[in-house]
Amino acid sequence: MLERLWNGWRASYVSSIEPTPPDPDQGSVFSRILSSGLSDDEANIVHRGHRCFAILNAYPYSTGHLLVLPYREIGDLEQLDHDEATELWATVTDAVRAIKATYRPEGVNVGLNLGRPAGGSVSEHLHVHVVPRWTGDSNFMTAIANTRTLPEPLDDTAQRIRSAWPGQ
């Protein structure tokens, strides 16, 4: 099993959202973040559009790992209406541009996990992963200790991506 090595600065973010099992009356973790009253800085939301937004992944695969999702809580790609689908993919494209400008990765993974069996950890709220990648970005910590290290606090990552977001 892959372990994660986290620093103390993460505790305040992780504890700011109550870790509860999905409750259809409360909505997904993303819906709870949106209704929490937290500022975009506190929630690590890096972009808001009319129908979609981009937020840092709280448990990233690498520094800069973003999630792009509609405000409306839906689980399936085919449930997006035309305007949501158009804005979602435009926002994914802008997220790729911002990550490339900020981190200069050698590559970027863009993908969805639709449904829990496909790996969707929050399958009730569709989200697109945008992950910067570098050759050899799996280092000795992953190979030996089943642990990922992240060299930058989420607050710093959010600020850097916001600053690089197209049109900002």
Catalytic residues: 127
Residue 79 tokens, joined: 């449930």
Are the C-beta atoms of 151 and 165 separated by less than 8 Å?
Answer: no
Residue 113 has phi, psi (to 5 degrees) of -115, 105
Residue 79's identity, in one-letter code, is Q
Question: Which stretches of the chain are DSSP H helices?
Answer: 11-16, 29-34, 40-43, 82-103, 140-145, 154-164
